[in-house]
Structures are given as structure tokens and as C-alpha cells.
Amino acid sequence: MSFFDLLQQHPAADLQQRLDRFETQDIDRALTRSKLSMDDFLCLLSPKMNNTQLETLANLAHRITSQRFGRTIQLYAPLYLSNECHNGCKYCGFSADNHDLRRKTLSDDEILREAEHLRRQGFRHILLLTGEAPEAAGVDYIEHVVRLLTPQFSSLSLEVFLMSKEDYQRLVDAGVDGLTLYQETYDQSLYPELHPYGPKSDFRYRLEGPERGGEAGLRRIGVGALLGLGDYLSDAFYTGLHARYLMQRFWRTQVTISFPRLRPAEGGFAPRSIVSDRQLTQLICALRLLLPDAGLVLSTRESAELRDNLLPLGITQMSAGSCTAPGGYEGDDGDGEQFAISDHRTPAEIRDILAERGYEAVWKDWDGAFVNQHP
């Protein structure tokens, strides 16, 4: 059974009915569980949770994270290779509808300059990103970039266009070990409105992308919803359901979850719902209780203050010093970005903040010496 089949067993209308039935005592009971069911997880997302219960939830999340991950935070950086794209996503700065955006695909020299910048900052784990324009930055291009950068970095992950299992396998063979693939929204009726044309408009093919990556042997898979596109509680629940499904099916693969909230981008798309800091905190803590071993990722979309305050509550990975435009690190003005970031601190500043709070910054995700541990 694919995750698409599982998703059909949890219609959004049923979720809302279940949420409406939860009372304070149900939340208290869920907070005592040593292992959460999906119904317990939904209960812990309830807007009826009071401040005392939220504090209890936060303390439990902190304790579990400390037990499972210690006091370390893995740092990574995005490297945008191309902003050329044929998709019409309504909310994205790279959308083909944004005709004024300066389009760019990096050459080898530009890639190496960007990579050297990140390496000087200390990064050994980077995330490669593109839009979806195969003639400019397709599988051949990405494979070439991976082989170009593999000698310099211990870990290369992708956040790019959808691929077949065979193409993911090809990139694994070239040196890729991670994949991040956001469903954006799990609302199957809203999805076509937000993705009216382009390869990304196929809801099911995107939904099953992480499974194709798992079948190809990727060591790490990241999922998430773009919070604010659809109903927050539904997308939050389905994100947890998706991550749990992947952890159970691909038990040798590390699953990570991200919590991006909509940020300003070219095109001026307005969020359909505003996800508050309290809701985001509640989601992160509830996911930690549901999935004690999942990596929880917080990007520079969020403010410095919020990122610092969420550190003890379940976060295990953070981006740092990010730029969302191709060529934006070295010798470029950063024009053509995908979205505006909020935390502008340098990687060194974030490292120092982590140290002040008793955390160790980890710059390397893994080492190639362990490659034989994961067939």
C-alpha cells in the first residue's frame, strides 16, 4: 500500500470531527502515553490545548530530544543551482508566471565558487536546489554537479524536481545521499488550484516521490508541508502520518520533517491561513512525541528569536547563512531569490549562539567511511 492509499483512509472531514470531540481530559491522557497513536497525535494538535498542557508537552519534547540526540544541532546550507522553472505554482518565487524574475543556471565555475564559499564557512553538508526546467538543469546536469562537489562535501542532498526511481538511483550512485520533497499541501482538492500547470501539478506522483527515493536507497528523506497554503491542522496531521509511514516502510532510512511557513516571494501570494508561533511550537513538540527518532528541521525562514527559543523543544537540524538565489553567495546581488529569509545571522554567529546555550554545532552529516553500513 502506498501512502496515497493510506491518505484516502483519513479524509479531512473526519479529522475535523475527531478534533471537535476532543476535550481537556483527552489531551491530558495523550500526554501520558509512552507511545502515541495517530489519534493521540491529532489530540495533541488540538486548539483546545491550554497553556499548562502546552508547557507539559514542551517539557516532554525536550526530554525525548535530549535522550535521543543529545545537545547537538546539525547545520547545513542550501546551494541554489537554478531558478529556471516550467511550473505555475502560485506561491513560489520561481514560478513560470513570474516573468520579471531574472533566470539563471549556474556554470561549473559559479558552482565551485558558491561551494567554496560554503566550505570556508565550515559546511560539509549542503542541499542542492533547482526549479523544474530539464533543458537547463535536468538529471544530467545534477549528476554532473554532484560528481563535481562530492570530493568537497561529506553529504549532498537534493531538493529538486520529481524523478523516477531509476533517476534517483542514478544520483545515489553519483554520490547523493538525501532527498527533501515537500508535498506543499496534502489537500487533494486544493492542490490543483495552487499548481495549475507544469510537471508538479500531478498530486499523486509528487506524493509518492519520497517512496521512489526510499526504493532507490537514499539514506535520508525529508518531508513537510508549506504551512499556510491549506488548512493548518489537516496538513500538520498528514505530515506526521506521512513521516511515520516512511519510517515504518524504509526503516534503514532517516526521516526528517521540516516546518516551512510561507514567506514573501515574487508574485505576492498571500497565505490562506496564518500559522502562529504557538501553533508551530505545538506541532514541533507533538511530532517529537509521535516520532522520537525523526530529525526535525528549522530553516532561516523563521526569525532568529524564534529559532533560538525552539532549540530545546525538538529541533535537530538548522540551516544557516542561507541565500535562496542562484549565485547569491559569491559575486552576485542575490536577485532572483525563491523567497525572503528571516534569520540573517552568519553561520559563525549561529555556531556561537548554540555554544552559549550549551549546544554543539555539527557541520558534517556523516562520513563516506560508513557507506557500507547502508546497502
- Give the pLDDT mean for 187-198: 97
The rounded distance, in Å, linking the Cα atoms of 303 and 342 is 5
Asked whether residue 115 is assigned to any structural domain, the reply reads yes
Number of domains forming the structure of the chain: 1
Helices (H) and strands (E) counted in the chain, each on its own, are: 16, 9
Instruction: Provide the grid cell at 267.
Output: 508574485
pLDDT beyond 90 at 337: no
The rounded distance, in Å, linking the Cα atoms of 234 and 202 is 20
The rounded distance, in Å, linking the Cα atoms of 71 and 61 is 13
Per-residue pLDDT band for 125 (boundaries 50, 70, 90) equals very high
- Give the pLDDT mean for 48-62: 98
- Give the pLDDT mean for 173-184: 97
Looking at residue 201, which CATH number applies to its domain? 3.20.20.70
Per-residue pLDDT band for 369 (boundaries 50, 70, 90) equals very low
Q: Return the higher-pLDDT residue of 300 and 337.
A: 300
Per-residue pLDDT band for 360 (boundaries 50, 70, 90) equals very high
| Confidence at residue 330, expressed as pLDDT on a 0 to 100 scale | 81
% of the chain at pLDDT higher than 90: 87
- Give the pLDDT mean for 160-165: 97
pLDDT beyond 90 at 264: no
Asked whether residue 131 is assigned to any structural domain, the reply reads yes
| Confidence at residue 270, expressed as pLDDT on a 0 to 100 scale | 79
pTM for the model: 0.94
Asked whether residue 15 is assigned to any structural domain, the reply reads yes
341-358 pLDDT per residue, tens: 899 999 999 999 999 999
pLDDT beyond 80 at 173: yes
- By CB neighbour count within 10 A (0-12 exposed, 13-18 middle, 19+ buried), where does 56 fall? middle
| Confidence at residue 372, expressed as pLDDT on a 0 to 100 scale | 43
| Confidence at residue 266, expressed as pLDDT on a 0 to 100 scale | 53
Q: Report phi then psi at 250, rounded to 5.
A: -115, 75
Per-residue pLDDT band for 371 (boundaries 50, 70, 90) equals very low
Are 260 and 299 within 8 A, CB to CB? yes
Asked whether residue 373 is assigned to any structural domain, the reply reads no
Asked whether residue 230 is assigned to any structural domain, the reply reads yes
| Confidence at residue 374, expressed as pLDDT on a 0 to 100 scale | 41
The rounded distance, in Å, linking the Cα atoms of 112 and 148 is 8
Asked whether residue 372 is assigned to any structural domain, the reply reads no
pLDDT beyond 90 at 278: yes
DSSP label at residue 370? G
pLDDT beyond 80 at 268: no
What mean pLDDT, rounded, does the chain reach?
93
| Confidence at residue 334, expressed as pLDDT on a 0 to 100 scale | 54
| Cα torsion angle, 309, 310, 312, 317, sign | negative
333 is in which domain, residue-wise? 3-365
The rounded distance, in Å, linking the Cα atoms of 316 and 241 is 20
Per-residue pLDDT band for 375 (boundaries 50, 70, 90) equals very low
pLDDT beyond 80 at 366: no
pLDDT beyond 60 at 253: yes
Asked whether residue 375 is assigned to any structural domain, the reply reads no
Number of neighbouring beta carbons within 10 Å of residue 370: 10
| Confidence at residue 53, expressed as pLDDT on a 0 to 100 scale | 98
pLDDT beyond 60 at 187: yes
Asked whether residue 371 is assigned to any structural domain, the reply reads no
- Give the pLDDT mean for 198-226: 97
